[in-house]
Amino acid sequence: MLGQHLEVRKKSLMAFDACLVALSLWLAHFVRVEVLPLFPYSERLPIIVDFSNYVWMWFVTAPTAPFFLKWNGFYRSLLGDKTAAVVRAMFFQMLFSSLVMILFKIDQSRLILLMMTTLSILLLIFRDFMTRRFLAYRSLLGEKKEKLLIATSPARCVQLIATIRTHPESVFTELLTFDLVGESLDSLSLVLHCESVNRVLISAGETPFEKVASAIRTCEIEGVDVCLLADFFHTSIARVQFDDFAGMSTLLIRSTPDMSWPLIGKEIMDRIGALVLLLLLWPIIAVIAVLVLITSPGSAIFRQDRGGINGRPFTMYKFRTMFSDAEMKNSELAAYNRMTGPVFKMDGDPRITPFGRFLRKHSLDELPQLWNVLKGEMSLVGPRPLPVEEVEKITDCSQRRRLSMKPGLTCLWQIRGRNYVSDFDEWVRLDLEYIDRWSLSLDIRILLQTLPAVLSGRGAS
């Protein structure tokens, strides 16, 4: 796992842990006021005033707790049991809070402080346990691992694999190797295509400068990030950053948006947005499913393998808009394709059902893809995913850079004419414009412009 990714993930956990400590204060007050009085001899306990008198503790404990945790090594690694670190950190947190109470002569319940410390320890240990279980589960799923291709000489590959495997977070990475010295760059492109590689680690070592530069150019064109164990290259599209990989200094050459808080915000917006839309639109989704079944024989949901990020296949869901034997007629209709490039589109497609034509006109057939967004396979905004067989037909490596971001329900192509665009190169140009200009505000603008576009059916067929 790249140091930059790991640092962003740790900062996210620090913010979440601060919220847990704040929650523990409220829970401690609730237990003291509402639960303890139910037990015998509770009348001996002093009377506790309302929670507003303890709000000051939020401003003391929540901001400082992550720093005590970090100081005690809680965030040193995402793996391994860290119970001792939590207990030590929360003990120092309790001492700090007690010192504040003494210095400012705040006379309040020490029992609540003790219960808050205990609850914080329990919540943080549980959070850490669930995080480790989740990451362990992801590491067991091969398709969830980040695929890293090590491109250098065979001997250097062995050394780098040994170094990387000593790093705790290496369990999140599937390692592939490529002989950059002995094999051709055409083979490198083939490996990137076939293995859906997420990142390439290049060690210049014994490789001629020209070949290393060409390898970087190949990755740059295809939108695959490069970690270079050197510092002497210039790029035209990609941005160069210093980063850390398994304790080794690298140059990160990015052709996609940086890992950042806005990108995390995009992920959060995707998941929450998909969940809210599914909850709000489920009656409409149910009605459409029934109408699809009534108006033509076959399943209500159409499943198809599409190319996801870096071309990795996933199963995309749509409402079925064609007759059941539609795919059997593909070869018969190939001559009527009005789209240049590998994509197939035709006017007046006879395979589309009457109700399916209505669904397509208003993009209602795409609603089941909210489930893909909720699963993390798609985004609300991003390049539209192509069928796997169409992805495999893309011969221009520069066009594959549209695969470097997670596919989405809508994008610039959706709001700038959809089916009016008949040139695949223009479609790709819009997708690359989106990738190069990406920001969270751009996503929001596209979402706001998508609604009137789909309601009017502009550019749809």
Per-domain residue ranges of the chain? 3-140, 143-254, 261-456
Rg, the chain, Cα only: 27
Identify the residue with better confidence: 400 or 51. Answer: 400
In this prediction, residue 259 carries a pLDDT of 63
C-alpha 121/C-alpha 90 separation (Å) is 7
Which pLDDT tens digit goes with each residue over 360-391? 888 899 999 999 999 999 999 999 999 988 88
Which of 297, 286, 341 lies closest to 322, judged by CA?
297
- CATH C-level class of 143-254: alpha beta
Identify the residue with better confidence: 229 or 445. Answer: 445
Which of 156, 160, 139 lies closest to 78, judged by CA?
139
In this prediction, residue 3 carries a pLDDT of 59
In this prediction, residue 193 carries a pLDDT of 86
Identify the residue with better confidence: 11 or 37. Answer: 11
Residue 350 half-sphere exposure, CB side, CA atoms within 13 Å? 8
pLDDT class for 415, splitting at 50, 70, 90?
confident
E-strand spans in 330-390?
379-381
On the question of pLDDT at 261 being above 80, the answer is no
On the question of pLDDT at 70 being above 60, the answer is yes
Which pLDDT tens digit goes with each residue over 155-181? 889 999 998 888 777 777 889 999 998
In this prediction, residue 144 carries a pLDDT of 62
C-alpha 276/C-alpha 270 separation (Å) is 10
pLDDT class for 317, splitting at 50, 70, 90?
very high
Q: Which residues contact 457 (CB under 8 A, 6 or more apart)?
A: 361, 362
On the question of pLDDT at 349 being above 80, the answer is no
| 274 in Cβ contact with 255 (< 8 Å) | no
Which pLDDT tens digit goes with each residue over 79-94? 778 899 999 999 999 9
In this prediction, residue 123 carries a pLDDT of 95
Residue indicated by tokens 């589309």? 352
On the question of pLDDT at 239 being above 90, the answer is no
E-strand spans in 135-275?
146-152, 173-179, 199-202, 225-228, 239-245, 248-254
C-alpha 335/C-alpha 328 separation (Å) is 15
Q: Which residues contact 52 (CB under 8 A, 6 or more apart)?
A: none
Percent of the chain with pLDDT over 90: 34
| 407 in Cβ contact with 385 (< 8 Å) | yes
In this prediction, residue 404 carries a pLDDT of 86
C-alpha 192/C-alpha 167 separation (Å) is 25
C-alpha 119/C-alpha 50 separation (Å) is 19
Crossing angle between the packed helical segments 354-361 and 261-295, to the nearest 10 degrees:
160
Which pLDDT tens digit goes with each residue over 99-141? 888 887 777 777 888 999 999 999 999 999 998 888 777 666 5
Mean pLDDT across the chain: 83
On the question of pLDDT at 293 being above 80, the answer is yes
On the question of pLDDT at 37 being above 70, the answer is no
